[in-house]
Amino acid sequence: MSQLSVNHLLGIKDTTADDIELILNTAAQFKEVINRPIKKVPSLRDITIANLFFENSTRTRLSFELAEKRLSADVVNFSAAQSSVKKGETLVDTVNNILSMKVDMVVMRHPNPGACVFLAKNIDSTIINAGDGAHEHPTQALLDAFSIREKLGILAGVRVAIVGDILHSRVALSNIFCLQKMGAEVMVCGPATLLPKYISTLGVKVETNLKTALAWCDVANMLRVQHERQDIKYFPSVREYTMQYGVNMELLNSLPKQVVIMHPGPINRGVEITTEVADSPQSIILNQVENGVAVRMAVLYLLAQKRELNKG
């Protein structure tokens, strides 16, 4: 198979294992390209991409922009804070106005779950979800899978514990779908109040004891507590959260094997992981960020190819 089964990247749930394999293999080729002295390829010349960010971002936004520029696409950036959304314009009107300027693909981050699905149904453009509320963050899951495969050489059979605020995390949901499709085993670990009731129906192991989770896993993906999505208090204090769910070197060194540490960022140092853990040789956090560019190049390239094929 050399093309994607999907026309948009709205969520990992819609993709197949073959799609993920194709994206990861294509990303490996792009990673070689971006490590050459001349990092640019002409693959998306004459394609215009709009990056629409209705929510804050550092990594995803810069990573998409770099990926687009490495592929020689024309890029326009839109930030809700400085736009006419503030004057009451709807999402569809905003995007259609942008598309009338001959934009081919849209990368969108939005606080509302399902915003990208809505857009894909209402506008004629290729849509890539850069994170929609607490729903999905597909390119984060793909770069996480790429980084695990790069570090351990395999995904099938690898045990991954996703630790922290699972309830409010789009990273958790996309990672669960992605890792399971690739044959990995997934455990979620956190305070019971931050574990959604439906989570075990997704086929993951559920654990509230951090040390048990770390002793089980090969990889621990540490999530930030998403205070901005919490309407009530889910644990007594940040200090108590850290005491029960924070990873420090003493805890890591007490385990029978070396666990690979991941984090999607932004990190709250001293809360979910200490500075020593974040900067330790066991951490692949900056590799994840580096791999994000190659993975997003692969996604953009393959979706642009699919778009051309659909035009017939």
Q: Catalytic: 170?
A: no
Q: Does position 11 bind ligand CP by CB under 6 A?
A: no
* Residue that has been written with the tokens 């109040």 in this structure: 193
The burial class, CB within 10 Å (0-12 / 13-18 / 19+), for 164 is buried
- Residue 104 tokens read as 């081919």
Q: Is 13 a catalytic residue?
A: no
In whole angstroms, the minimum distance from the beta carbon of 131 to ligand CP comes to: 6
Q: For residues 142 and 139, what is the distance between their CA atoms, to the nearest angstrom?
A: 5
For ligand CP, the binding residue among 5, 25, 29, 58 (CB under 6 A) is 58
Q: Closer to ligand CP by CB, 113 or 255: give it.
A: 113
| Total of chain residues touching ligand CP, rule CB under 6 A | 11
Closest residue to ligand CP, Cβ-based? Answer: 60
Active site residue 87: yes
Interface map 76-115 toward ligand CP (x if CB under 6 A): ----------------------------------------
Q: Which is nearer to ligand CP, 183 or 266 (CB)?
A: 266
Task: Give the per-residue contact string, 247-266, with ligand CP (x = CB under 6 A; - = no).
Answer: -----------------xxx
| Closest separation in Å from C-beta 300 to ligand CP | 16
- The residue from 31, 61, 70, 109 that is catalytic is 109
Quick note: the x/- pattern for ligand CP over 117-136, rule CB under 6 A, is: --------------x-----
Q: What is the smallest separation between the CB atom of 143 and ligand CP, expressed in angstroms?
A: 9
Residue 120 burial class via C-beta count within 10 angstroms: exposed 0-12, middle 13-18, buried 19 and up: buried
**Beta bridge partners of residue 109, listed in sequence order:** 53
Q: Which stretch binds ligand CP (CB under 6 A): 40-48, 58-66, 72-80, 304-312?
A: 58-66
224 catalytically annotated: no
Q: Report if residue 287 touches ligand CP, rule: CB under 6 A.
A: no
Closer to ligand CP by CB, 156 or 286: give it. 286
Q: Which of 8, 31, 110, 137 is catalytic?
A: 137
Binding status of residue 60 toward ligand CP by CB under 6 A: yes
- Angle at 165 (CA atoms; ends 174, 167), nearest 5 degrees: 65
Distance CA 89, CA 86 (A): 7
Residue 4 Cβ vs ligand CP, minimum distance, rounded to whole Å = 22
> Least distance (Å) from ligand CP to the CB of residue 137?
6
Min CB(63)–ligand CP separation in Å: 8
Active site residue 59: yes
* Active-site position among 36, 86, 87, 197: 87
Q: Which residues bind ligand CP (CB under 6 A)?
A: 57-61, 131, 137, 140, 264-266
As annotated, the active-site residues are 59-60, 87, 109, 137
